[in-house]
Every structure is written in C-alpha cells, then in structure tokens.
Amino acid sequence: MRSHTIAVIEDEQTIASSIAARLGKEGFTVEVAGDGPSGVELCERTRPDLVILDLMLPGFDGLEVCRRIQRDRHVPVLMLTARDTETDVLVGLGVGADDYMTKPFSVRELVARVQAILRRAQRVPGPGGMPIQLGDLRIDPGTREVSRGGNPVHLTPIEFDLLFKLASHPNMVHTRDHLLSDVWGYEDAFEGRTVDSHVGALRKKLGADVIRTVHGVGYAMNPPR
Ligand code: CA
C-alpha cells in the first residue's frame, strides 16, 4: 500500500520534529513547513492525505491556511491550538477542521487520531439510503446534501456524518464516547472537546434548536417541527 503523506505545518520546531519523527516511525511520509505561506505551497506541491496545522503561524495563520488548502478539494485537517478557548472560537467560525487538539498533547494520541481520520477519509460511502426528513430539516445520504426550510446548508464531511448519525436515531441519546467511536472511528475515548465543538458547528449552521444537550450523558436530536 502507498504510504500516506502528512503535511505538518507548525512553527515550533521541537513540536514539529517530534510529530514528524513519530509519524515517520509509523510509516508515513512526512513533509514539514514552518509558516503559513510555505505551508500552503507545500500542500499544493505534495497534495497530502492529511494536514496537521498549527493555529498560530508566522506569515498568515492556520485559519487562512485551512481556507486556502480547502479551496479546490477537501483535505482532512487536524488543528493544533494553544488553548481550549481557541478551539471554541474556531468552531464558531466554522473552520471545517476534522478535529482539534490542544497543546500540550500526547504524540501517541495524535498518531491514533491521524490513523482514525485517514480510515474515515478512505471509507467508501455506502449506497446512501433514503433521505431523512425531520420537520423542515432534510438530510440526503445519497447526495450528502442537507437543507433546512428548503435552504441548502453546507457541512464538512465529518459534520454531515455526525448529523446523519444523530438523525438516524432521533429518539436516542448518544454518548460522546459512542459518537467518537462511530463517527470519528476513535478506538480510545479521548478527553477533549471534539464532539462538543462539532455539535457547536452544527447548531451554528442549522439552528441552535436542532440538537439538544443531555447533561452528563451526551447529545440527541431535537427534531424540528
Ligand atoms: Ca505556533
């Protein structure tokens, strides 16, 4: 099997080289860039399978890098932030990263997330099935299109999968652990804001009423009328 290429865009050299060394050991081809403009250039040149992207970069920041590299194709992005509050801001902006990790993080965990995101990206979409209609919310797994009140809503691939999972069992409460394993394919239940941040993105795009929080448990659909 062809080895996957991973681009690491990170200006802190010790972090960049420890990530690169570990991914190299796992059999990945790793390319490193240390600022925004060279990160974009690197992605155009090497067309990586996944990008590990630091938020704060010289030149222009990770947000701008994320926008530019996603212009003509979706490439999975694992975003690194210095604080949880930064993740909240990113989610509010609908940046479209597949996952976020807050520094300091364990490199072992980063590798596990990289492997899971790549497995997801490779999964061939199934036959699709029938569209789901919940009130004015319509989800079509065949075309992966979503609309609310007839207005199309653009979701990232992982946002679509999360919404589809919740909407397929609209009366069920889903724990964060189950969502991480079913939607992200994570085998270990990692701590963190991964699920919360993507639920936040869905609420922002579809309306705050669409998903309800079940405190201490997880999330459920709140089917619109
Ligand atoms: Ca940085």
Per residue in 100-143, pLDDT (tens digit) is: 899 999 999 999 999 999 988 777 565 577 899 999 999 999 89
pTM of the prediction?
0.81
- CA 139 to ligand 1 center in whole angstroms: 38
CB contact at 8 A, 187 and 147: no
Using the 3D structure, point to which of 121, 143, 173 is the last residue of a domain: 121
- CA 8 to ligand 1 center in whole angstroms: 12
Task: Please tell me what DSSP assigns to residue 209.
Answer: T
- 11 and 111 in a common domain: yes
Burial class (CB in 10 A: 0-12, 13-18, 19+), 219: buried
CB contact at 8 A, 146 and 224: no
What are the angstrom distances between the C-alpha of 42 and each of 12, 65, 127?
A: 17, 11, 35
- CA 16 to ligand 1 center in whole angstroms: 10
The answer to whether position 42 is within a domain reads yes
- CA 54 to ligand 1 center in whole angstroms: 6
CB contact at 8 A, 146 and 155: yes
- CA 166 to ligand 1 center in whole angstroms: 35
Domain range enclosing 29: 5-121
- 145 and 197 in a common domain: yes
CA–centroid distance for 56 within its chain = 18
When mean pLDDT is compared over 40-49, 83-92, 168-177, the highest value belongs to: 40-49
| pLDDT score at 90 | 76
- 191 and 102 in a common domain: no
Q: Lowest mean pLDDT of 36-40, 162-166, 186-190, name the range.
A: 186-190
Over residues 138-159, mean pLDDT:
93
- CA 80 to ligand 1 center in whole angstroms: 9
CA–centroid distance for 39 within its chain = 19
- CA 159 to ligand 1 center in whole angstroms: 26
Calculate the average pLDDT of the chain.
Answer: 90
